[in-house]
Amino acid sequence: MIGGDLSIKNLTFLGKGPFTFMVKRGECVGLSGRSGIGKTQLLRAVTDLIPHQGTISLGGRTCSSYPAPVWRSMVTMVVADSSWWYDRVGEHFDDSAGDTFIDTYFPLMGMERKVLEWQVRRLSTGERQRLALLRALQRDPAVLLLDEPSSGLDAYHTGLLERCVAGLQQEKKISVVWVSHDPEQLKRVATRELRMEANGLVELGHDLDSKGS
C-alpha cells in the first residue's frame, strides 16, 4: 500500500473553490457544511471522478501521474448509497482478498461469512452501507473518503463502523476524510473538522488559507 500525506492545493471544480487542505497519514479529518454546498463533489474531485483543477497528491506524488483506476484504488470513496452490479453479494468481492480478509474484517462490521451468498436485493440499507465499506477495504486503500457512511445505521452498528475505521488508522495508518451532518460523530472520529463554504474551508474557529500556505 502506498501511503503518505494527502495534499490538496487550490482545488476547484464545478465553479467552486479553491480549496486547500492536508490530511496527514493516519489522520481523520471531518468535513461538514450545509446540504448542497458540494461536500460529495469535493470527495469526487479528490478521487478523480469529476473534472477539476489544482494539485492533488499522495505521499508527494500527484494524482495526474497515476492511471485513474490505480489512483482510485489508493484514494477510495465510499458513498452513503452505493451501487451494486451483480445479483449476489460475494460477486462484489475479489477472490484475491481471501479468507484472511473475510475472517478479519467481516466480524468487525457485524457480518458473517454467509452474507456473501445473499442476494443484494435482500440487504437492508444499513447492511449495504457496511458492506460498501468492506468492499472498499479489500483494495487496501491508503485514503478513505467517507460520505455519510453510517447514515442508515443504528447506534450499535455506527459504533462498529467507527471503531473499525479507527483501527485502520492505528494499524495501517490509513488517512480518512469523513463527511457527516452529525457534529457529535465528527467529534468522536476526527482530530480536526473543516466546514466547507463555496470558496474555501474554515477549520475550528480559524480560516484556512484557501490559496495554500
Whether residue 50 is predicted with pLDDT greater than 70 in this model: the reply is yes
Q: Given this model, what pLDDT does residue 145 score?
A: 98
**Length of the chain (residues):** 213
Is residue 10 a part of any domain in this protein?
yes
Please give the Cα distance from 121 to 128 (Å, whole number): 10
Residue entry with cell 460475494: 90
Q: Does 154 fall in a domain?
A: yes
Residue 163 sits in a domain of what CATH number? 3.40.50.300
Residue 206 pLDDT exceeds 50: no
Residue type, 56: I
Residue 179 covered by a domain:
yes
Whether 212 is covered by a domain: the verdict is no
> Is 25 part of any domain?
yes
The boundaries of the domain holding residue 183 are 6-207
Q: Does 137 fall in a domain?
A: yes
d(CA 93, CA 12): 34
Answer yes or no: is pLDDT of 108 > 60: yes
The upper half-sphere exposure of residue 74, i.e. CA atoms within 13 Å in the direction of its Cβ, equals 21
- Report the alpha-carbon distance of residue 2 to residue 50 in Å, rounded: 23
Please count the structural domains in the chain: 1
Cell of 149: 457512511
CA angle, 184 as apex, 210 and 111 as ends, to 5°? Answer: 105
CA distance 131 to 135: 6
Cell readout for 15 is 465553479
Band the pLDDT of 96: cuts 50, 70, 90: low
**Is 213 within a domain?**
no
Region of residue 4 (left: phi > 0; alpha: psi -120 to 50; beta: else): left
User: Does 45 score more than 90 pLDDT?
Assistant: yes
